[in-house]
Amino acid sequence: MLETLDERLGLDDEQLLGLYRRMLTIRTFEERVKYESSAGTVLGPTHLYIGEEAIAVGVCAALRPDDYITSTHRGHGHAIAKGCQPRRMMAELFGRETGVCHGRGGSMHIADFSVGMLGANAIVAGGIPLATGVGLAIQLKQSDQVIAGFFGESASNRGPFHEGLNMSAVWHLPVLFVCENNQFGQYTYASQVMLVENVSERAAGYGIRGLTIDGNDVMAVYQAAREALEGIRRGDGPVLLECKTYRMEGHNVGDELYYRKPGEMEAWKQKDPIVRFRACLQTWGALSAAQEADITAEVQAEIEEAVAFAAASAYASIDTIYDDVFSSDYQVTP
Amino acid sequence: MAIKVGMPNLGHTMEEGTVVNWLKQPGEAVTRGEPLAEVESDKVVFTIEAPATGLLLRVLVAAEGVAKVGQALGYIGAAGERVPEAETTPTPTATSAVAVAVQPPTPTAPPIGRLSAERARISPLARRLAQEHGLDPEQLTGTGPRGSVTQEDVLAAVAAATAAPALPIAERRPLRAMRRTIAQRMTQSWQQAPHVTEMMEVDMAAADQYRAAQGLAYTDLIVAAAARALVEHPHLNAALVDDAVEIYAVVNIGLAVALEDGLVTPVLRDAAHHSLAEINQLRRALVEKATKGQLGLDDLAGGTFTITNLGAEGVRYFTPILNPPQAAILGVGSIAPRAVVIAGGLQARPTLDLSLTFDHRVVDGLPAARFLARIKALLEAPGLLGG
Amino acid sequence: MTTAEMTAPAQTAVRTITFRDAIREALLEEMQRDPSVFIIGECIELRSAWRTTKDLSLMFPGRVRDTPISEAAIVGAAVGAAMLGMHPVAEVMIGDFVTTCMDELVNQAGKMRYMFGGQTDLPMVVRIPTGMVKNGGAQHSQTLESWFMHAPGLLVAVPSTPYDAKGMLKTALRGRDPVLFFEYKMLYGIKGDVPEGDYTVPLGQARIARAGTDATIITWGSMTHKALAAAETLAAEGRSVEVVDLRTLVPLDTAAILRSVEKTHRVLVVDEGYRPASAGSEIAALIAEKAFYALDAPIKRLASPPVPKPFSTPLELATVPQTDDIVRTVRELF
């Protein structure tokens, strides 16, 4: 547990509070989305990141603004951590024209190319070959950028995981494969559908480095990511970073959690990443009560504004449904 | 696959046609568009052009044969290609030992060319075209796939329809023999001989008395007068045959007899050598035969001059058409009292109007006039005619 | 399509070269012209199974790469690289294998631009050698381009001549949209006149391969050549048959199709793919919808029957439309 790590990995108070704030923003955003989804204002299937915030925040803190990420159906946390505006995300979830994808994508297809967030993918493991391709492009451009491709442990059972990691390995592509092992693949325990306990064991199959860390410890995630990315930027090739966590909510809003073992969630609540980090910051004296109250209030206000903004925004006109199937070079015939 | 040569649709009421003759023989090479066969329907003879290039593989309907519109008359294709058998249903022979089970057509199968009993099989293009031309698609026959009506079929129907008369027709009588013959001969006569008609009035007072006393008809006197005049003016008893005027040796006068729907012209032979009484007898015998339809070819042949009479209906002068190859014909009008100037004063005299048409290739106006004047003179002094 | 719509330099030599060499020329010239063009695929580095990339890896080191047998990763990587503005060419070695990368083609490449609200171009080309080869068997003989008419966001090119192959591949490589470039394997060896140097042929425009007045054959790819042979035979019978080579299925040159049908009133669609629910079906339906009143006979289609391609030669030939079949079917239009 990170309480014993008293070097703050070179981060000053502001940076540490930034980690905290971002995790809290994600948590507050997701809790509000849960409410709005039940109210019907957030449309469609919604997959909450509650309990996993440390992974997105820790990894993205190690990335540069010109680095990229690919994400999953459970992508709100990745998006906020990479720098997407909550108001434009909320508007997207509300299906409004002001959303980051103009209401075309929704929760499962959040994307903001302006901050290097190259899209949430509703196909499990769908983003892995894309991350491979992004890494290939970076290599061909001879740049030292990197891409972090997020996916769940159950994605590692799909073909594209195998193909994407293998190909990235062979070509030494600058990809950080971040496996968020939250114990569940939809309504099934991951342990029921794979025999290896740690997904990182699979890295050996591709000849690359794999490691498993505590995904609920933002500093541990940050440290592991930072270290891996140094090598990746140097051209050492991809790394498989498995972050163990727990999906505190159901797979989707409305999931009745009929399959969950009793008592398990309560046990994991003790390891809540935000609670732990708050305690850590308080131990380091980096977070006063006043600061905590301020940050909490600011985050709340930001989310409130995001909802208000979304609710006040109009839907896109139906005249636009044929736009952006192709570039302007080609027209779709109705 | 071999290409069918079908009986074309020559008119939108046409149901079948007759092959007149084939211009190509089986096995001969044909080029698309080349004349292939002649077919006839109603009065129309039509030349079928070959619909494709290849060999005329088989002729299914020979000359004189009859086929329905669309029926295969023959096939064009490459050498050795299989062609279907004739489309006519075979008639079972009485000596056939094996009974051929005939499958009744399935009740739901519509006839060739129809979608159903109510609906013709017609392509959208053809239907649109038919409607534009005011044709009923249900009435058209098709030569397209599965007997469907195609654009080509509609255009053919349109062409046929525009050739038909625009007027409504109360009745249509195909020409029977007599009418056909009359039509042919009148046309021929009119087209070949330059017709000129001269007319004269005849004072019939004397003839009237003479006739009554002798128990004769006017016609008998007219026949006798004409016959005598022809003897004296033989170039009116003639015909133009090839390059020569043939003057007959005998006077055979044809008498036009009106029948219910036509006329016949039995011939009173050698009229010049018969007495009035004989002329009367012969004439009556001929007329009776005519009205009973008993005239034989002998009765009708050999006329050298014709007399035709419309007087009973009140016609005065008219322009009879020559009875070819005769050079002259006398038209007899009515006999009626007319106002005549005699010695400077008006009198009512029984007057006969005569119209003489002659062939101006054979006879000129003056000789014809003299001939007519002679007839007039004889009729005005019937005692000259003898008994 | 007029010569005005093609670009060609003022003085060019025209040579007779093979279809495969025309493809290679397009790749070579575009790689020279645009450093962002690169090629990935199986066994392509030396020359490719179809000899279309011969020696290109020597001319452009690092830009022509052999991949593992991983179609999902190959196509997915092309998507990822395209999102970063590169111009990847991914080769799926045999058209039957599109099944192994359907998600990457249909759900990723076809959807990215639209579901992200127009945030990205997707300038990628997937080259797909397709169609019959002699005795290829059920899993190496198919031509499945029809499936992609049913997937929004993908352009589908089906050139039939070396001239069009080179010109259309260049257009694809300069575009901003994903192009599935089907190359009929049976045509690789055919020869045609191809200008030296740069010219393009637009996508979405059919060409009149043979003008005629009595009937129209709509077709593409290898069937174009059989249709032309059939038209020659029919000409000797006095039938003037127009052959329309579509060259592209998406977008479909509906105007050219309808123009031809309005002119001849009789149409046969010839498709090498399986008949049910094929590109030929779509074309026939379009003609029935939009040119119904111009038809003088029912629309006819010729396609492969819905049976797996058998291996034995006489059986195999019987499961693909042949020139004689085309001749016979055109005759049935009259």
In order along its 334 residues, chain A shows pLDDT tens digits of: 445 455 688 899 999 999 999 999 999 999 999 999 999 999 999 999 999 999 999 999 999 999 999 999 999 999 999 999 999 999 999 999 999 999 999 999 999 999 999 999 999 999 999 999 999 999 999 999 999 999 999 999 999 999 999 999 999 999 999 999 999 988 899 999 999 999 999 999 999 999 999 999 999 999 999 999 999 999 999 999 999 999 999 899 888 888 899 999 999 999 999 999 999 999 999 999 999 999 999 999 999 999 999 999 999 999 999 999 999 999 898 7
Looking at the fold, whether B255 and B380 belong to one and the same domain comes out as yes
- C188, pLDDT greater than 60: yes
Mean pLDDT of B202-219: 93
Pairing of the two strands A209-214 and A239-244: parallel
Q: Which domain holds residue C166?
A: 14-195
What is the tens place of the pLDDT at every residue in C46-60?
888 899 999 999 999
Q: Which residue of C has its CA nearest to A119?
A: C116
CA separation for the pair C202, C204 (Å, rounded)? 6
CB contact under 8 A, A123 and C72: no
Looking at the fold, whether C122 and C249 belong to one and the same domain comes out as no
How high is the pLDDT of residue B243? 86
Averaged confidence pLDDT in chain C: 95
- B94, pLDDT greater than 80: no
How high is the pLDDT of residue B58? 83
* Residue B92 belongs to a domain: no
CA separation for the pair B335, B201 (Å, rounded)? 10
Token representation of residue C262: 């309005």
How high is the pLDDT of residue B44? 60
- B149, pLDDT greater than 60: yes
* Residue A322 belongs to a domain: no
- B60, pLDDT greater than 90: no
How high is the pLDDT of residue B99? 41
Which residue did the predictor score with more confidence, B28 or C108?
C108
Q: Which residue from A56, A35, A42 is spatially nearest to A106, judged by alpha carbons?
A: A42
Q: Which of B65, B84, B103 is the last residue of a domain?
A: B84
Cβ atoms A95, A43 nearer than 8 A: yes
Partner-chain residue, chosen from A105, A133, A135, that has the shortest CB–CB distance to C117: A105
Looking at the fold, whether C134 and C85 belong to one and the same domain comes out as yes
- B108, pLDDT greater than 90: no
Looking at the fold, whether B73 and B123 belong to one and the same domain comes out as no
* Residue A105 belongs to a domain: yes
Looking at the fold, whether C230 and C147 belong to one and the same domain comes out as no
* Residue B12 belongs to a domain: yes
CA separation for the pair C330, A272 (Å, rounded)? 74
Q: Which domain holds residue B219?
A: 194-385
Q: Which phi and psi (to 5°) does residue B349 adopt?
A: -125, 140
Mean pLDDT of B359-387: 93
* Residue C8 belongs to a domain: no
Looking at the fold, whether B343 and B228 belong to one and the same domain comes out as yes
* Residue B174 belongs to a domain: no
CB contact under 8 A, A163 and C88: no
Q: Which residue from C304, C28, C21, C38 is spatially nearest to C183, judged by alpha carbons?
A: C21
Looking at the fold, whether C54 and C171 belong to one and the same domain comes out as yes
Partner-chain residue, chosen from A123, A326, A333, that has the shortest CB–CB distance to C103: A123
b vs e for A20-53, b when ≥16 Cβ sit within 10 Å of the residue's Cβ?
bbbbbbbbbbbebbbebbeeebbbeebbbbbbbb
Mean pLDDT of C74-84: 98
- B111, pLDDT greater than 80: no
As for how many domains chain C has, the answer is 2
Q: Looking at A173-177, B298-302, C162-166, which range is the least confident one?
A: B298-302
Residue B80's identity, in one-letter code, is G
* Residue C202 belongs to a domain: no
Q: Looking at A169-173, B273-277, C102-106, C224-228, which range is the least confident one?
A: B273-277
Averaged confidence pLDDT in chain B: 85
Token representation of residue C213: 């007045």
List active site positions of B: 360, 364
Percent of chain C whose predicted confidence (pLDDT) is above 90? 94
| Preceding amide of B194 cis, omega within 30 | no
What is the tens place of the pLDDT at every residue in B266-290?
999 999 999 999 999 999 999 998 8
How high is the pLDDT of residue C9? 53
User: Looking at the complex, does the CB of residue B128 fall below 8 Å from at least one CB of chain C?
Assistant: yes
Looking at the fold, whether B132 and B13 belong to one and the same domain comes out as no
* Residue C63 belongs to a domain: yes
| Preceding amide of B325 cis, omega within 30 | yes
How high is the pLDDT of residue B117? 66
Q: Which residue of C has its CA nearest to A131?
A: C80
Q: Which residue from B69, B379, B87, B364 is spatially nearest to B226, judged by alpha carbons?
A: B379
Shortest CA gap A162–chain C (Å): 9
For an interface test with A, the pick among C40, C115, C203 (most A C-beta atoms closer than 10 Å) comes out as C115
Mean pLDDT of B229-238: 96
Mean pLDDT of B2-17: 74
Q: Which of C147, C164, C195 is the last residue of a domain?
A: C195
Which pLDDT band holds residue B115 (cuts at 50, 70, 90)?
low
Pairing of the two strands B244-247 and B238-241: antiparallel
Looking at the fold, whether C38 and C172 belong to one and the same domain comes out as yes
CB contact under 8 A, A326 and C40: no
Strands (E), B82-216: 195-203
How high is the pLDDT of residue B89? 43
Looking at the fold, whether C94 and C72 belong to one and the same domain comes out as yes
How high is the pLDDT of residue B147? 84
Residues whose CB falls within 8 Å of the CB of residue B181, separated by 6 or more in sequence, listed in order: none
Length of chain C measured in residues = 334
Mean pLDDT of B378-386: 89
Q: Which residue of A has its CA nearest to C178?
A: A326
How high is the pLDDT of residue B12? 54
* Residue C4 belongs to a domain: no
Looking at the fold, whether B237 and B321 belong to one and the same domain comes out as yes
CB contact under 8 A, A137 and C85: yes
Looking at the fold, whether C56 and C157 belong to one and the same domain comes out as yes
Q: Name residue B365's beta-bridge partners.
A: none
For an interface test with B, the pick among C261, C296, C328, C334 (most B C-beta atoms closer than 10 Å) comes out as C296
Which pLDDT band holds residue B78 (cuts at 50, 70, 90)?
confident
How high is the pLDDT of residue B101? 42
Q: Which domain holds residue A290?
A: 2-316
Token representation of residue A255: 């999931």
Q: Which residue from A80, A61, A78, A58 is spatially nearest to A69, judged by alpha carbons?
A: A78
CA separation for the pair B19, C280 (Å, rounded)? 44
Looking up residue A12, the CATH number of its domain turns out to be 3.40.50.970
Looking at the fold, whether C262 and C124 belong to one and the same domain comes out as no
Looking at the fold, whether C188 and C248 belong to one and the same domain comes out as no
DSSP letter (8 states) at residue C161 = S
Could you give the C-alpha distances from B99 to A57, B86, B88, B93, B106, in angstroms and in order? Answer: 95, 21, 19, 10, 21
* Residue A326 belongs to a domain: no
Looking at the fold, whether B79 and B118 belong to one and the same domain comes out as no
Looking up residue C278, the CATH number of its domain turns out to be 3.40.50.920
- B261, pLDDT greater than 80: no
How high is the pLDDT of residue C13? 92
Neighbours of A191 (CB within 10 A): 12
As for how many domains chain B has, the answer is 3
Which chains pack against A, by 3+ Cβ pairs within 8 A?
Answer: C
CA separation for the pair C180, C191 (Å, rounded)? 23
SS3 C92: coil
DSSP string over C233-298: HHHHTT--EEEEE--EEES--HHHHHHHHHHHS-EEEEEEEESTT-HHHHHHHHHHHHSGGG-SS-
Q: Which phi and psi (to 5°) does residue A162 adopt?
A: -60, -50
SS (H, E, C) chain A: CHHHCCCCCCCCHHHHHHHHHHHHHHHHHHHHHHHHHHHCCCCCCCCCCCCCHHHHHHHHHHCCCCCEEEEECCCHHHHHHHCCCHHHHHHHHCCCCCCCCCCCCCHHHCCEHHHCEEEEECCCCCHHHHHHHHHHHHHHCCCCCCEEEEEEHHHHHCHHHHHHHHHHHHCCCCEEEEEEECCEECCEEHHHCCCCCCHHHHHHHHCCEEEEEECCCHHHHHHHHHHHHHHHHHCCCCEEEEEECCCCCCCCCCCCCCCCCCCHHHHHHCCCHHHHHHHHHHHHCCCCHHHHHHHHHHHHHHHHHHHHHHHHCCCCCHHHCCCCCCCCCCCCCC
Looking at the fold, whether B322 and B237 belong to one and the same domain comes out as yes
What is the tens place of the pLDDT at every residue in B323-372?
988 999 999 999 999 999 999 999 999 999 999 999 999 999 999 999 99
B/C interface, count of CB pairs below 8 Å? 44
Looking at the fold, whether C214 and C181 belong to one and the same domain comes out as no
How high is the pLDDT of residue B96? 38
As for how many domains chain A has, the answer is 1
Looking at the fold, whether B122 and B266 belong to one and the same domain comes out as no
How high is the pLDDT of residue B112? 63
How high is the pLDDT of residue B13? 57
Q: Which of C161, C195, C229 is the last residue of a domain?
A: C195
Which pLDDT band holds residue B6 (cuts at 50, 70, 90)?
confident
CB contact under 8 A, C238 and B32: yes
CA separation for the pair C239, B327 (Å, rounded)? 61
Using the structure block, give the residue that is written with the tokens 């070269």: C17
Token representation of residue B339: 């106002």
- B102, pLDDT greater than 60: no
Token representation of residue B334: 């009515």
Token representation of residue B326: 């005769």
CB contact under 8 A, B144 and C238: no
What is the tens place of the pLDDT at every residue in C272-284?
999 999 999 999 9
How high is the pLDDT of residue B173? 76
Which pLDDT band holds residue B43 (cuts at 50, 70, 90)?
low
User: Looking at the complex, does the CB of residue C332 fall below 8 Å from at least one CB of chain B?
Assistant: yes
* Residue B208 belongs to a domain: yes
Cβ atoms B96, B84 nearer than 8 A: no
* Residue B180 belongs to a domain: no
Strands (E), B31-132: 35-41, 44-49, 54-59, 66-68, 72-77
* Residue B136 belongs to a domain: yes
Cβ atoms C206, C256 nearer than 8 A: yes
Looking at the fold, whether C23 and C169 belong to one and the same domain comes out as yes
Looking up residue C188, the CATH number of its domain turns out to be 3.40.50.970
Q: Which of C195, C227, C260 is the last residue of a domain?
A: C195
Looking at the fold, whether C47 and C184 belong to one and the same domain comes out as yes
Residues whose CB falls within 8 Å of the CB of residue B246, separated by 6 or more in sequence, listed in order: B238, B239, B240
* Residue C1 belongs to a domain: no
Cβ atoms C257, C301 nearer than 8 A: no
CA separation for the pair B31, B51 (Å, rounded)? 8
Q: Which residue of A has its CA nearest to C154?
A: A326
How high is the pLDDT of residue A1? 43
Neighbours of B12 (CB within 10 A): 20
How high is the pLDDT of residue B88? 47
- B49, pLDDT greater than 90: no
Residues whose CB falls within 8 Å of the CB of residue B344, separated by 6 or more in sequence, listed in order: none
CA separation for the pair A23, A56 (Å, rounded)? 9
Q: Which residue of A has its CA nearest to C112?
A: A119
* Residue B228 belongs to a domain: yes
CB contact under 8 A, C113 and A324: yes
Mean pLDDT of C204-220: 98
How high is the pLDDT of residue A233? 97
Q: Which phi and psi (to 5°) does residue B85 adopt?
A: -75, 175
- Rounded to two decimals, the ipTM of the complex is 0.92
Where residue C293 falls (left for φ over 0; alpha for ψ -120 to 50; beta otherwise) is alpha
What is the tens place of the pLDDT at every residue in C5-38?
456 555 679 999 999 999 999 999 999 999 999 9
* Residue A329 belongs to a domain: no
* Residue C200 belongs to a domain: no
Looking at the fold, whether B314 and B230 belong to one and the same domain comes out as yes
CB contact under 8 A, B150 and C296: yes
